[in-house]
Chain A
Amino acid sequence: MTVPAEPAGDLPEAAVRRFADGAFTSGLTVPDFAACLQMGLEPVGFTQGYCVMQWQWYGMPQMGGGFGYQWGGVRGYSETFNCPHGMVSQEHRAWGQNYEQSWLEDAWASGFSTAYERMLDEAGAAGAHGIVGVVDTSAPLADMGVVEFRVQGTAVRVVDGPAPADGRPWSTYLAGQRLAKLVEAGYAPVSIAATVASVGLWANCVTQYQTEGTAGMFRTGNPGEEIVQTAKAHTAARRIATERIRGQLGPDSLHGASLRTTHRAQGEGDATIEAVLRGNRVRRFKDFDPMPAPRPTVRLL
């Protein structure tokens, strides 16, 4: 293992010392470790990146005006839902909107990518070519409104292999046999990919009544009406997440993705919908090697 004499500036001193000490550390299980060696990957060290962010759901930039006005300083998806009743009253929600909460997405992206870049710096300084078995989590820390982003993984070198382009290590959520199969199938791991789409739902009267079950007085006589605004907000959150990831992929593909969506109800039909999409960005480096049809087996025990 080689350690550059002048490590990248941002690294903790202790981390530099730890990597220089010779023995490797890794987060791999023994089977994963064995699979790495079998592929010619040599573990360098367990690398980590962290970033603690201030996190406020309502930290929206100044809005441009009163209701009925497009949010100021907010970009991306927005859709307005007007009241079909023609009622004017203080209580009646004559106007509703679905809007992408870009300030939240930016905060998430900033926290995640800062932690990720720190992990890459650590791995790069240790002379690694790639990082396998990446785990990323985020958890509230200390108080409401403080979130820590954590990205951890095992840095590896490709024995006798070339350094990656720009010296930036590649990364993947996979390790062990799954990674070996991926590579054998003709995919090279490029990086982990993750994004969050956050859509705020400011309910109009119809959505409020439908969500609270009080739409009866305004019912059109058609049973089983869809809550259109909420369904559209959910669809939009997923669409934004997949489109953004696709925009980051370049010529590559997304493999082994997971799309998780949470709905935080905030009363009177209002809600925040958050879609988290994670996956492995992979690049085809050879044609898919078609596997012979596998032989089915039955276990006797």
Chain B
Amino acid sequence: MTGPEPLGPDAGADSSDPKADMRSAADALAGPARNAGGARTTSDLSIDEELVLHSIGWEPVELVSGVSIHAVPVGVWNWGQGEIGYASAAYARSFAAAVDRLHQACTHAGGHGVVGVHVEWAVERHHIEVTLVGTAVRPVGSTGIGTDPVFVSDLSGRDFALLHTAGWAPLGLAAGASFVYAPRRSMGATMKQSGQNVELTNFTEAMYAAREAAMERMQAAALALGGTGVVEVKVTEGPMEFARHAVGFTAYGTVVRLVADEHRHVGARMVLPLDDAQVGFDAASLRGG
């Protein structure tokens, strides 16, 4: 009795021979350590990201990081009116200093930019902290400093390649944050609103103020870098954990600019995946459940 037909090789599959590759790798490991060429690198990119970067002519150079922590004194979050300028400034300075340090590390490593930056930040009662970790990259084989300014981007290797193919380039990270007091209601307003489900305009207005200021700062940062726009913006909004009467809005993203003559259509091919949407087996699905 014969089993089912083996799965045939995909007609579109390339002709690489994984067994031969693995044998060559084992041969290299059986001999003394030596480098068959190419630079010594450190990177936190996945192999997929590295391959896709190579396909557009870029390579990783070095794992780089930048950290900055700014102090926020006692009393800053206490009741008040308008923007909490001290906290907004501490966020802006921490972000700028961390980016600056990442730039220096990238230039030092001979990179032309940093991709896949992990952005970690924290707003605490007494400090605001920003940490950036990413991989410095450069065009394959290039040495020395690039002619364009160093860029920093939190886009993945895949996104970087896609932007590149479409004729765009990342320029840097733009960030904006604003922290605003939600003012106390007047005695009259409190009395009038008590027991009713009505809009609390003091909170709505505070959130609006924080959003507008933060978005404007991010946009100004993007314009200062000469960008056309910002992609993959991440926002957080809401009251501070440790001071519920203070609301904050933060936003950051990667600034991009069209560098080709015009936007290039990437010409994506449509595919219809035939794999099951549901990976696990579920008896209910047999009964149309």
How distant is B141 from chain A, measured CB to nearest CB, in Å? Answer: 10
Is A210 in contact with B268, judged by CB distance below 8 angstroms?
A: no
Q: Which residues 238-281 of B sit at the A interface, judged by CB distance below 8 A?
A: 266-273, 277
A residues near B27, Cβ cutoff 8 Å? 161-162, 285
Scan B11-34; emit 1 where CB is below 8 A from any A CB, else 0. Answer: 000001011011111111111111
Is B30 in contact with A164, judged by CB distance below 8 angstroms?
A: yes
Scan A199-214; emit 1 where CB is below 8 A from any B CB, else 0. Answer: 0000000000011111
Is A185 in contact with B271, judged by CB distance below 8 angstroms?
A: no
Is B269 in contact with A295, judged by CB distance below 8 angstroms?
A: yes
Q: Tally of A-B residue pairs with Cβ under 8 A?
A: 241
- B1 at interface by CB-CB < 8 Å: no
Known: A288-B140, A294-B52. 15 other contacts (CB 8 A): A38-B18, A178-B48, A185-B51, A188-B25, A210-B71, A223-B85, A224-B70, A225-B71, A227-B71, A251-B35, A285-B24, A290-B55, A291-B52, A294-B55, A296-B268
- A230 at interface by CB-CB < 8 Å: yes
How distant is B231 from chain A, measured CB to nearest CB, in Å? Answer: 16
Known: A178-B46, A251-B33. A161 touches B51 (CB 8 A): no
Instruction: State in angstroms the CA–CA spacing of A256 and B41 once bound together.
Output: 11
Is A129 in contact with B26, judged by CB distance below 8 angstroms?
A: yes
- B44 at interface by CB-CB < 8 Å: yes
Is A279 in contact with B18, judged by CB distance below 8 angstroms?
A: no
- B287 at interface by CB-CB < 8 Å: no
- A242 at interface by CB-CB < 8 Å: yes
- A41 at interface by CB-CB < 8 Å: yes
How distant is B167 from chain A, measured CB to nearest CB, in Å? Answer: 14
- B74 at interface by CB-CB < 8 Å: yes
How distant is B97 from chain A, measured CB to nearest CB, in Å? Answer: 7
A residues near B93, Cβ cutoff 8 Å? 224, 226
How distant is B131 from chain A, measured CB to nearest CB, in Å? Answer: 7
How distant is A286 from chain B, measured CB to nearest CB, in Å? Answer: 6
Selected A-B contacts with CB under 8 Å, 26 pairs: A39-B19, A162-B26, A181-B51, A185-B51, A188-B28, A210-B127, A213-B72, A213-B73, A223-B90, A226-B71, A227-B71, A230-B127, A251-B40, A256-B43, A279-B42, A279-B44, A284-B35, A284-B38, A287-B36, A288-B54, A291-B51, A294-B55, A296-B267, A298-B271, A299-B273, A301-B272
Instruction: Among A189, A231, A295, find the residue whose CB has the most chain B CB atoms closer than 10 A.
Output: A231
Is B21 in contact with A184, judged by CB distance below 8 angstroms?
A: yes
B residues near A216, Cβ cutoff 8 Å? 73-75
Tell me whether chain B's interface is mostly helix, strand or loop, or mixed: mixed
B residues near A255, Cβ cutoff 8 Å? 41, 43, 45, 47, 50
- A51 at interface by CB-CB < 8 Å: no
Known: A211-B126, A283-B35, A287-B36. A298 touches B269 (CB 8 A): yes
- A300 at interface by CB-CB < 8 Å: yes
- A83 at interface by CB-CB < 8 Å: no
- B89 at interface by CB-CB < 8 Å: yes
Instruction: State in angstroms the CA–CA spacing of A150 and B2 once bound together.
Output: 44
Is A161 in contact with B271, judged by CB distance below 8 angstroms?
A: no
